[in-house]
Structure 1
Amino acid sequence: MQLLPADLGPGARGGFTARAGGVSGGPYAGGTGGGLNLGLRVGDDPAAVLANRDRVAAALGAPVGWMDQVHGAAVRVLDGAPDPRSEGECDGLVALAGSAGPVAAGVLVADCVPVLLAAADGSAVAAVHVGRQGLVRGVLPAALDRLAELGVPPAGLHAAVGPSICGRCYEVPAALREEVAAQVPGTAATTAWGTPALDLPAGVLGQLAARGVTRVHHVQACTREDARFYSYRRAGEHGAGPTGRFAGVVRTAA
C-alpha cells in the first residue's frame, strides 16, 4: 500500500492512503488490483475493510481509531485502545500519547477534505473530516479548540491538508455557493467549465490561517481528477456505482 507522507513536524507521523494496495474487489478495486477501501459503510465486504485497516495500522506502526462521520462538528478524544471499527459518531478525533505506545487517528474521505493536526512533539494529534457541511458548522475550529484545551494552542501545531475535490471540479448551485461563501470567506469558485463551484481546500486553509496555524502542508491533488484516490463525484459521473474511502492518518510519538 501507498502512504503519501504528510509533513507534521518532528514528533508525529502521518499521511494519506490511495486506492491501491488492499484486498477489496469489485468497484472498490477500481482497476488497481486489490483496493484499499477503508470505509465500512459503503457496501464493501466488512472483512476486507478490516483487513485493509490492519494494513494501514501496520504501515503506520500504531493502532488507528476511526470515526462514524456525520458531517457535523463533534470532536472526540480517544480513550484507551482504539476500536478498529469505530469510535462513535464524530467528525474530529484526537489521540494523545501514553505509556502504552503510539496511537493514531484516521479520517475517511472520497472528495471531502482530510485534515491532520499534530503537536510539534507528537504528544497530541487529530484527524478531522471537513466536508461542505462540516466546514460551515465549524468542525475544524472545534478540533483546534479541543487541542488548545489539552495544552496545544494553534501556534504550536503542524497541519496537513490532504487530497480532496478542488474548486475547479466541485460544482454546486449558485445559491449554495453564495450561502457557503457568506459564512466561510474564500470558498466561492468557478468550475473549469464555467459554472458555480466551491473551493473547500481554500476554506480549510483560511480557517487554519485565521486561527494562527502557520505550519501547513497542503497535498494539492484533486480527487475527481486524480484516479489514485476514491472520488464519490467521479464515480457518480461515470456510472461506476459505489466507491470506497481513502484516509488521512496521524499517529502520536512513540
Structure 2
Amino acid sequence: MIGQQHEASGAHFAFTDRWGGVSAAPYEELNLGGAVGDDPGAVRTNRELAAKSLGLDPAQVVWMNQVHGRDVAVVDGPWRADHIPSVDAVVTTRRGLALAVLTADCTPVLLADPAAGVAAAVHAGRPGLVAGVVPAAVETMLALGAEASRITAVTGPAVCGSCYEVPEEMRAEVARAVPEAWSTTRWNTPAVDVTAGVHAELARCGVHMCEKSHICTRESADHFSYRRDRSTGRLAGYVWLEAPRVGGRPDRG
C-alpha cells in the first residue's frame, strides 16, 4: 500500500503503490483519484485505508483539483468537499495537517522545512514544469518563513526520461524553459525527463537536500501509469510535519 516512506527530523514523506485497496479493474486496487471514473465509494475507502496506514486522520488530508498549472494555495485545514480549488501546489504551516498530491506519471514533489514549520505538496507534470509550479511553491514557502537551505525535497515515482516520448517540437519547448528536462528514449526518439527538470529547478531555488525515487511508473506493474494504460488509477504522495505534543502525546488536531 505505502510503497516508500521517508523522514527528515520532524517531517514525514510517503508515496503509495497500487495495492491494498478495494477498487476494481481498471483502477485496481488502491486508486486514490476521485476524477478518473472509479466508484466514489471505493475511492473514499481507499483514501481512508491509505491515511490510516500512515497514522493520519483521513479527514485531515488536503487534496487538490489538479489542472497542470502553477497556482499555489496556502491552507490551514481541509477544503469543503464542494469547494476544492484548482491548484497544483498546496502549502501549510499547520503541523499535523497532511498535504496530498495525485499522480500517474507526473512527478509528485514533497517539500518541508520542519524548523520553520512549513510544508508543501506539488503536482509537477510537463505543463506545470514549464509554467514554473515548483519555484512558485518554494517562493510561497519562503514567504511563510522557510529557508531554502533547510528545505528537504522528495520526488516520488514518475515516468522516467527514457520512457516519456514526446514530439520533437514539444521536447524543444520544454527544454527552452528547463534545459535539464531534455531527454531521449531508449529507442532513440525525443523525450522529456520531468523529474530531472524538477530537481534542476529546486537547485536553482537553493534547495539542495533532495531525494529522488528511481521507480518509473510506466515500467513498474506496481504503480499506475496513464501513458501505459490510459484508463487507470492515481497514486498519492503525502507530506506532513510532526504535530505539537500535548501532555507528552502528539496532538493530531
Tell me the TM-score normalised to structure 1 length.
Answer: 0.90
* Aligned-partner Cα distance in 2 for 1:81–1:131: 23
Equivalent position SS for 1:97: coil
CA distance in 2, matches of 1:154, 1:122: 11
The aligned counterpart of 1:187 is 181
AA in 2 matched with 1:19 = R
- 1:78 corresponds in structure 2 to 75
The answer as to whether partners of 1:11 and 1:122 remain within 8 angstroms in 2 is: no
- Inter-partner Cα distance in structure 2 for 1:85 and 1:196: 41
1:239 paired residue number: none
- Take 1:149 and 1:79, find their aligned partners in 2: how far apart are those partners? 15
Equivalence for 1:165: 159
Correspondence for 2:61: 64
Alpha-carbon distance, 1:172 to partner: 0.4
Contact kept in structure 2, 1:114 and 1:248, CA below 8 Å: yes
Q: Secondary structure at the match of 2:26?
A: helix
Give me the whole-angstrom Cα distance separating, in 1, the residues matched to 2:82 and 2:215.
28
Q: Shift of residue 95 of structure 1?
A: 2.3
1:121, distance to aligned residue in structure 2 (A) = 3.5
Is residue 2:193 matched to residue 1:204?
Answer: no
Give per-residue Cα distances to partners, 1:46-90, cap 9 Å, x unaligned.
Answer: 111011111222123332100000000011112334556873210
The equivalent of 1:32 in structure 2 is: none
- Which SS does the other structure have where 1:128 is aligned? strand
Aligned equivalent of 2:47, options 45, 53, 57: 53
Structure 2 regions of 5+ residues with no counterpart?
244-253
Deviations 1:161-207 (A, max 9, x none): 11100110000000111111011111111101110001111100100
Q: How far did residue 38 of structure 1 move?
A: 0.5
Take 2:15 and 2:132, find their aligned partners in 1: how far apart are those partners? Answer: 23
Paired positions, count: 240
Write out per-residue CA displacement over residues 126-166 of structure 1, whole angstroms, 9 at most, x where no aligned residue: 11000000000010000000000100021120000111001
**1:85 to 1:95, Cα distance in 2 relative to 1, 3 A:** farther
User: Match for 1:224 among 218, 223, 248?
Assistant: 218
Partner of 1:142: 136
User: Alignment identity in percent?
Assistant: 47
Q: How much does 1:2 deviate?
A: 2.2
Paired residue type of 1:5: Q
Aligned residue in 2 for 1:27: 26
Q: d(CA) in 2 for partners of 1:103 and 1:221?
A: 27
Are 2:243 and 1:244 equivalent residues in the alignment?
Answer: no
Cα distance between partner residues in 1 of 2:4 and 2:80:
24
Secondary structure in 1 matching 2:109: strand
Q: Does 1:124 find its partner at 2:123?
A: no
Shift of 1:214: 0.9
